[in-house]
Structure 1
Amino acid sequence: MYMQPARLGAARAQYQNVDFQSRVEGASPHRLVGILFEELIKSIDAMAAACRRGDYVQRGVRQSRALNILHGLEGSLDFEKGGEIAVDLAAIYRETRRLALEAGRDNDPAHLVRAREMLAEIATAWDQIG
């Protein structure tokens, strides 16, 4: 069976959306943050790949997704309960946003490599405490 590329892309997007929704529906609050880290890292990786290909449309789409997730993560921080850890995480999220914006402006995936390294460290630590 042959499927046209446009229909294949739409089918893949629909499958990914269903997969994401099913992971989110039964997740604990701790797991939801873990899922956000996973999705953020995927977006950063996809943005870096789009930079390398010179695909400005996908770069913008992935950058927008990454920035939205970063805003969500930062907005969920509880500075009263989280104290210094929350302040440090907010700084990392802001730095990641800055790197993503520079990568988009310069079409330079090197900025995203650094952002990914920081996020992967946090995501690993988050998984270990869960």
Structure 2
Amino acid sequence: MYMAQSRFGAARTRYESVDLSSRIEAATAHGLVGILFEELIKALDAMAAACRRRDFSQRGARQSRVLAILAGLEGSLDHEQGGEVAASLATIYREARRLTLAAAQENDPEPLLRARAMLAEIASAWNAIG
């Protein structure tokens, strides 16, 4: 039984990787940012679940993913053309990073829920304009 679950999990992971790769290859620039938001929300949820389970290995892996995506989103901002909007987004991304680090330090999912709420609102707005 355990072996069957292990194989299923590995197959599911491969399928998700292929699915994500296909979506990335077919995406527009706007769509790529949407995919980043989707993956960020998933990583925040997974990190929160790992905090609740006290699974430090998974928490660390998900934390790394969250921080990498936040860095990518912040790095993609065009401050010259984006003006106040870009500056506001940078501030939100930095706050989400701070909350992620606080959650990891305390092994507390609450800061992640606050970060998720902020970022989900931005993701929703992003999807609405796309």
In the other structure, the counterpart of 1:36 is 36
Shift of 1:6: 3.3
**1:61-76 matches, cutoff 5 A:** 61-76=61-76
- In structure 2, distance between residues paired with 1:81 and 1:115: 26
Supply the distance in 2 between the matched residues of 1:8 and 1:127 (Cα, whole angstroms). Answer: 32
2:121 pairs with 1:91:
no
Paired residue secondary structure (1:30): helix
Please list every run of at least 4 consecutive aligned residues from structure 1 whose deviation after the TM superposition is greater than 3 angstroms.
1-6
Q: What residue number does 1:118 align with?
A: 118
Paired with 1:2 and 1:37, the residues of 2 have a C-alpha distance of 33
In structure 1, C-alpha distance between the alignment counterparts of 2:2 and 2:61, rounded to whole Å: 28
CA distance in 2, matches of 1:129, 1:49: 31
Instruction: Give the Cα separation in 1 of the matches to 2:127 and 2:32.
Output: 11
- Structure 2: gaps (5+ residues): none
Q: Give the TM-score normalised by structure 1.
A: 0.95
CA distance in 2, matches of 1:11, 1:38: 21
TM superposition shift of 1:11: 1.6
Question: Deviation at 1:3?
Answer: 4.4
Letter in structure 2 aligned against 1:31: G
TM-score computed with the length of structure 2 as normaliser: 0.95
The residue that corresponds to 1:10 in the other structure is 10
How many pairs were matched up?
130
What CA distance in whole angstroms lies between the structure 2 residues aligned with 1:115 and 1:62?
14
Distance 1:2 1:118 in 2: 38
RMSD: 1.4
